[in-house]
C-alpha cells in the first residue's frame, strides 16, 4: 500500500503537469527519497523503521545492562539511508532549478528524481555502528527465524547528482546527531 500511494502521487503530479502545465503554469516535481532517518523519527516498538528501532533497543540494553540485543534476520541485507535534513535540502534545490533543466532529465510519464546517499550498508554493520555510537558492548543476536526482506535496496541517484545535488551528512555523523536527539527527547513509547 505504501508503494502504491507513492506511485499514485507521482502519477497525479504528472497528470496535472500534462493537463494544466501550460494553461495554469503548473510545474510539479516529484522526489523519491530512500529510507530516511533523523530528528523527530518514531521510536515506537511496533511501528518504527530500522534506525530508530536499533537506536531504541541498543540504548535501552545499555541503560538496563542487558547483555544482548535481538535483531530480525541475518543482518546481511543492505539498505541505503538519507538524513532528513539532506532530503529537505534536496527538495529546495530541485524546486529552485529552472523547468528547462528539469525537463532535460525527466519526461511527462517518468518525472521522479531519486534522492539518496548512493551508498548502502548491511543491517549488521549498521547495528555495530549504532552500538559503537551508543557505547554498547553487548552482543548483537540475529534472529534467523525472522525474515530478512529484500536483499538490497539501493537507489540510482544519478539524475540528482547530474543536476548538482549531493547529500551533505554522512551516515556516521547523521547517526550521532540522531542518537543525541533521541536522548534529548527520550520518547515515551
Q: Which helix (H) or strand (E) holds 157?
A: none
Map residue 54 onto helix, strand or coil.
helix
Distance of CA 161 to the CA centre of its chain: 17
Q: Per DSSP, what are the bridge partners of residue 168?
A: none
Q: Are 81 and 35 in contact, with CB atoms under 8 Å apart?
A: yes
- Cα–Cα distance for residue pair 26/35, rounded to 1 Å: 28
Q: Is 2 noted as a catalytic residue in this protein?
A: yes
> Which residue among 2, 28, 37, 189 is the active-site one?
2
Q: Which residues are catalytic?
A: 2
Amino acid at each position: 500500500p505504501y508503494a502504491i500511494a507513492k506511485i499514485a502521487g507521482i502519477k497525479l503530479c504528472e497528470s496535472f503537469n500534462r493537463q494544466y502545465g501550460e494553461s495554469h503554469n503548473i510545474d510539479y516535481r516529484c522526489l523519491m527519497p530512500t529510507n530516511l532517518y533523523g530528528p523527530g523519527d518514531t521510536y515506537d516498538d511496533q511501528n518504527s523503521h530500522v534506525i530508530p528501532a536499533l537506536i531504541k533497543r541498543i540504548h535501552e540494553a545499555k541503560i538496563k545492562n542487558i547483555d544482548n540485543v535481538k535483531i530480525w534476520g541475518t543482518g546481511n541485507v543492505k539498505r541505503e539511508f538519507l538524513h532528513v535534513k539532506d532530503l529537505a535540502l534536496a527538495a529546495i534545490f530541485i524546486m529552485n532549478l529552472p523547468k528547462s533543466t528539469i525537463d532535460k532529465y525527466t519526461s511527462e510519464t517518468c518525472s521522479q528524481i531519486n534522492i539518496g546517499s548512493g551508498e548502502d550498508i548491511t543491517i549488521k554493520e549498521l547495528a555495530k555502528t549504532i552500538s559503537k555510537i551508543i557505547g554498547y558492548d553487548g552482543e548483537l543476536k540475529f534472529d534467523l527465524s525472522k525474515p530478512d526482506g529484500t536483499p538490497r535496496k539501493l537507489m540510482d541517484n544519478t539524475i540528482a547528482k547530474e543536476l548538482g545535488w549531493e547529500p551533505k551528512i554522512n551516515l556516521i555523523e547523521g547517526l550521532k546527531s540522531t542518537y543525541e536527539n533521541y536522548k534529548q527527547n527520550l520518547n515515551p513509547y
